[in-house]
Protein backbone atom coordinates (compact mmCIF):
# COMPACT_ATOMS: atom_id res chain seq x y z
CA UNK A 1 0.00 0.00 0.00
CA UNK A 2 1.42 3.40 -0.98
CA UNK A 3 1.78 6.32 1.41
CA UNK A 4 -1.10 8.02 -0.40
CA UNK A 5 -3.39 5.01 0.13
CA UNK A 6 -2.40 4.88 3.80
CA UNK A 7 -3.51 8.47 4.25
CA UNK A 8 -6.87 8.13 2.56
CA UNK A 9 -8.16 4.71 1.48
CA UNK A 10 -11.34 6.31 0.10
CA UNK A 11 -9.35 8.58 -2.26
CA UNK A 12 -7.22 5.64 -3.42
CA UNK A 13 -10.31 3.58 -4.19
CA UNK A 14 -11.86 6.51 -6.04
CA UNK A 15 -8.67 6.96 -8.10
CA UNK A 16 -8.64 3.26 -9.02
CA UNK A 17 -12.33 3.44 -10.00
CA UNK A 18 -11.77 6.50 -12.20
CA UNK A 19 -8.72 4.93 -13.85
CA UNK A 20 -10.60 1.72 -14.58
CA UNK A 21 -13.73 3.42 -15.94
CA UNK A 22 -11.80 5.92 -18.10
CA UNK A 23 -9.72 3.13 -19.65
CA UNK A 24 -12.89 1.11 -20.24
CA UNK A 25 -14.72 4.07 -21.79
CA UNK A 26 -11.75 4.81 -24.05
CA UNK A 27 -11.57 1.20 -25.17
CA UNK A 28 -15.32 1.13 -25.87
CA UNK A 29 -15.04 4.33 -27.94
CA UNK A 30 -12.11 2.93 -29.91
CA UNK A 31 -13.94 -0.34 -30.60
CA UNK A 32 -17.20 1.24 -31.75
CA UNK A 33 -16.31 4.57 -33.40
CA UNK A 34 -12.81 4.34 -34.84
CA UNK A 35 -13.36 1.33 -37.15
CA UNK A 36 -16.33 3.12 -38.79
CA UNK A 37 -14.29 6.28 -39.39
CA UNK A 38 -11.38 4.30 -40.79
CA UNK A 39 -13.69 2.27 -43.03
CA UNK A 40 -15.21 5.39 -44.64
CA UNK A 41 -11.79 6.85 -45.32
CA UNK A 42 -10.41 3.60 -46.68
CA UNK A 43 -13.11 3.01 -49.29
CA UNK A 44 -12.01 3.76 -52.86
CA UNK A 45 -13.92 6.58 -54.52
CA UNK A 46 -16.58 5.48 -56.99
CA UNK A 47 -15.50 6.41 -60.49
CA UNK A 48 -18.17 7.92 -62.73
CA UNK A 49 -16.81 5.58 -65.43
CA UNK A 50 -17.65 2.49 -63.35
CA UNK A 51 -20.28 0.52 -65.34
CA UNK A 52 -22.86 0.59 -62.52
CA UNK A 53 -22.17 4.27 -61.87
CA UNK A 54 -22.64 4.99 -65.58
CA UNK A 55 -25.88 3.03 -65.66
CA UNK A 56 -27.23 5.22 -62.85
CA UNK A 57 -25.75 8.45 -64.24
CA UNK A 58 -23.51 9.02 -61.20
CA UNK A 59 -21.53 12.28 -61.15
CA UNK A 60 -19.36 13.71 -58.38
CA UNK A 61 -20.95 17.15 -58.76
CA UNK A 62 -24.73 17.41 -58.86
CA UNK A 63 -24.47 20.70 -60.82
CA UNK A 64 -22.99 18.71 -63.72
CA UNK A 65 -26.00 16.43 -64.25
CA UNK A 66 -27.25 16.30 -67.83
CA UNK A 67 -30.73 17.76 -67.42
CA UNK A 68 -31.83 16.56 -70.86
CA UNK A 69 -30.97 12.97 -69.95
CA UNK A 70 -32.29 13.23 -66.36
CA UNK A 71 -35.24 15.67 -66.43
CA UNK A 72 -36.35 14.67 -62.93
CA UNK A 73 -33.03 15.83 -61.41
CA UNK A 74 -33.31 18.80 -59.07
CA UNK A 75 -30.26 21.00 -58.32
CA UNK A 76 -30.94 20.66 -54.59
CA UNK A 77 -30.48 16.88 -54.73
CA UNK A 78 -27.09 15.44 -53.78
CA UNK A 79 -25.70 12.42 -52.00
CA UNK A 80 -25.71 14.17 -48.62
CA UNK A 81 -29.50 14.48 -48.68
CA UNK A 82 -30.12 11.04 -50.18
CA UNK A 83 -31.63 8.22 -48.16
CA UNK A 84 -28.85 5.84 -49.30
CA UNK A 85 -26.01 8.10 -48.04
CA UNK A 86 -24.14 6.78 -45.01
CA UNK A 87 -21.25 9.23 -44.87
CA UNK A 88 -22.43 11.67 -42.22
CA UNK A 89 -20.58 14.95 -42.72
CA UNK A 90 -17.60 13.44 -44.56
CA UNK A 91 -16.63 14.63 -48.07
CA UNK A 92 -16.78 11.03 -49.33
CA UNK A 93 -18.83 8.31 -47.73
CA UNK A 94 -20.52 4.96 -48.28
CA UNK A 95 -23.70 4.62 -50.33
CA UNK A 96 -25.92 1.57 -49.92
CA UNK A 97 -26.16 1.19 -53.70
CA UNK A 98 -22.41 1.04 -54.25
CA UNK A 99 -21.03 -1.33 -51.62
CA UNK A 100 -17.27 -1.15 -51.13
CA UNK A 101 -17.03 2.33 -52.68
CA UNK A 102 -17.46 5.86 -51.42
CA UNK A 103 -19.37 8.58 -53.23
CA UNK A 104 -18.95 12.35 -53.03
CA UNK A 105 -21.23 14.26 -50.68
CA UNK A 106 -22.12 16.65 -53.57
CA UNK A 107 -22.57 13.77 -56.01
CA UNK A 108 -25.79 12.49 -57.52
CA UNK A 109 -27.21 9.49 -59.37
CA UNK A 110 -30.64 8.69 -60.82
CA UNK A 111 -31.47 6.50 -57.79
CA UNK A 112 -31.48 9.54 -55.51
CA UNK A 113 -34.22 9.28 -52.88
CA UNK A 114 -34.92 12.13 -50.50
CA UNK A 115 -33.73 11.38 -47.00
CA UNK A 116 -36.60 10.44 -44.73
CA UNK A 117 -37.11 12.80 -41.80
Which sign, positive or negative, has the C-alpha torsion 65, 47, 94, 33? Answer: negative
Q: Is 59 in the site for ligand SF4 (CB under 6 A)?
A: no
Please report, for residues 82, 87, 103, 114, the alpha-carbon distance to residue 90 in angstroms, rounded to integers and kept in the order given: 14, 6, 10, 18
DSSP at 76: T
Q: Which of residues 14 and 115 has its CB atom nearest to ligand SF4 in the complex?
A: 115
Is position 108 an interface residue for ligand SF4 (rule: CB under 6 A)? yes
CB distance 48 to 54 below 8 Å: yes
Single residue of 73, 85, 101, 102 touching ligand SF4 by CB under 6 A: 85
Applying CB under 6 A, the span of 6-14, 15-23, 31-39, 101-109 interacting with ligand SF4 comes to 101-109
Please identify, using beta-carbon distances, which residue of 16 and 39 lies nearer to ligand SF4. Answer: 39
Count Cα neighbours of 22 within 13 Å in the Cβ-side half-sphere. Answer: 6
Q: How far is the CB of 79 from ligand SF4 (least distance, A)?
A: 3
Which residues in this chain contact ligand SF4 in the complex, by CB under 6 A? 58, 79, 82, 84-85, 95, 97, 103, 107-109, 111-112
Amino acid sequence: MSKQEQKSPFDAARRRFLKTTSVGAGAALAITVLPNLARSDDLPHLSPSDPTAQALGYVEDTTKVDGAKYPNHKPTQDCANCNFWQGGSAEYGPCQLFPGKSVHTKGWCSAHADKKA
